[in-house]
Structure 1
């Protein structure tokens, strides 16, 4: 559609130019020789390329504990802002879900809880408890060892 509009405009401009130049420049009444000009514009080329998203940079396991296959690496920090950002990152992966497991209100403590429970195998991929996590919660609620 753009190419057609361009051609119409080019033809209109050329016709107007030919009409103005219809008389010779000498001032006599003889029409100037006809000049035919063809203007063609190449069609715009649009190339769409799908670029795969590069994998996230591998970060070392900061806790010193080997994480299981598919489990996220957790970067522990004492900075509340950095801890909140790490929790947001873990939430985006689906592993940290404060709606399924209750964590401390302090982001540094919540990140430490998540890391500890993840290493013990208590946190499932959807952010909830694994069967081992549920058993540990029940035991802790019944006066057993703290989680």
Structure 2
């Protein structure tokens, strides 16, 4: 009888999308203690959404600066949690597809996120990235609860 290795943990190499400094703060607070406990190494991605021919809402430089601000929060939270983290900016016209492609490229064990507060109208208007991640990803998607909700 051959021994089979345990499958990797969902948190061994998670891809974590963040949209802003506040989102990064909340997501890291929920994710990094769990990832540290599993000995995982996350890849945090920020998607700069391109308008696909239409004028962009903000310049690429402004969006890259916002991504770097979010990554500063990520790096600080990672240092506090004792987690090695990689960060990456991705560009795309479809945020969900760009996140899924990034997960494939880094061979992520899962896509891990903390849902942001939002209304059903905002979800409808943005194409509901959360639902698309769950329904279209070829790997597990982990939705983390609020840290306060667990206590």
In which range does the TM-score fall when normalised by the shorter chain?
under 0.3
Between Structure 1 and Structure 2, whose CA radius of gyration is higher?
1
Scaled by the length of structure 2, the TM-score of the pair is 0.20
Scaled by the length of structure 1, the TM-score of the pair is 0.21
**Structure with more strand by fraction:** 2
